[in-house]
Amino acid sequence: MRNWAGDRHEEGVTLALAQNLTAEPAAVPEIKTIFREHAPYVLRLARRLGVRDGDADDVCQEVFVTVHRRLPTYEGRGSMRSFVYGICVRAVANYRRKAHRRYELGMDAPPDVGHAEDPGRAYERKRSLAALDEALATLSEEHRAVFVLYEIEELSMAEVAEVVGCPPKTAYSRLYAARASVSACMKEGGRA
């Protein structure tokens, strides 16, 4: 039996997304399986939604505790990723309300994911990420969630709307507004 945090299976997540909304309810997977498949992406999502690295683990844990508690309500008609991400988005919103002081006050150093990475490239990557986070920090909570879910997590717009709980048209308008703001910030940052 592998650890919960066994190998990542992004393909598996993609396959999970292929569950048709009208399909028969599927068997609810175990929390361990859900954690193994989604935890890395929940951490990524939390960070891009503005949770500082020092708090990301706590938020991630809160997400999966909530997932565990709410699994009985999961009917298997939507994708598990939408279910988990929806809980994550709400957990981050809760985090922001409770810990408003932490939100976007600064950034911890991005985790070192490229151990063998060329130092110059690592520096560029971190700088690039920091610039993106700065741009994301200018967005409202709602716009940021839509942008991150679509552009980074690569959910479909239908899923984005489902996760954030808004009509698809609203999700589109938030996406376009967020794109304009992020692009402008990135250009401004590039000129600075």
The residue ranges that bind another protein (CB under 8 A) are 1-8, 14, 17-18, 30-32, 35-36, 39-41, 43-44, 47-48, 54, 57-58, 60-62, 64-65, 68, 98-102, 105, 110-113, 124-126, 128-129, 131-132, 135, 150-152, 154-159, 175, 179, 182-183, 186-187, 190
- 98/165 with CB nearer another protein: 98
> Nearest distance from residue 157's CB to another protein, in Å?
5
Rounded least distance, CB 102 to another protein, Å: 5
Smaller CB separation from another protein, 75 or 98: 98
Q: Which residue has the tokens 């997977």?
A: 29
CB of 139 to another protein, least distance (A): 14
Contacts of 14 (CB under 8 A, 6+ apart): none
Closer by beta carbon to another protein, 83 or else 150? 150
Spatial contact of 71 and 28, defined as CB atoms under 8 Å apart? yes
Q: How many residues does the chain have?
A: 192
Which lies closer to another protein via its Cβ, residue 75 or residue 187? 187
Cα gap 146→149, rounded to integer Å: 5
Report, in Å, the least distance between residue 40 CB and another protein.
5
Tell me phi and psi for residue 111, to 5 degrees: -65, 150
Burial class (CB within 10 angstroms; exposed 0-12, middle 13-18, buried 19+) of 167: exposed
* Residue 129: CB minimum distance to another protein, A: 4
Helical H segments across the chain, by residue range: 10-17, 31-48, 53-70, 80-98, 119-136, 141-147, 157-164, 168-191
Residues 6+ positions from 89 with CB-CB distance below 8 Å = 45, 49, 145, 149, 163, 164
Least distance CB 89 / another protein (angstroms): 16
Q: Which is nearer to another protein, 142 or 171 (CB)?
A: 171
Our CB check for another protein shows the closer of 118 and 154 to be: 154
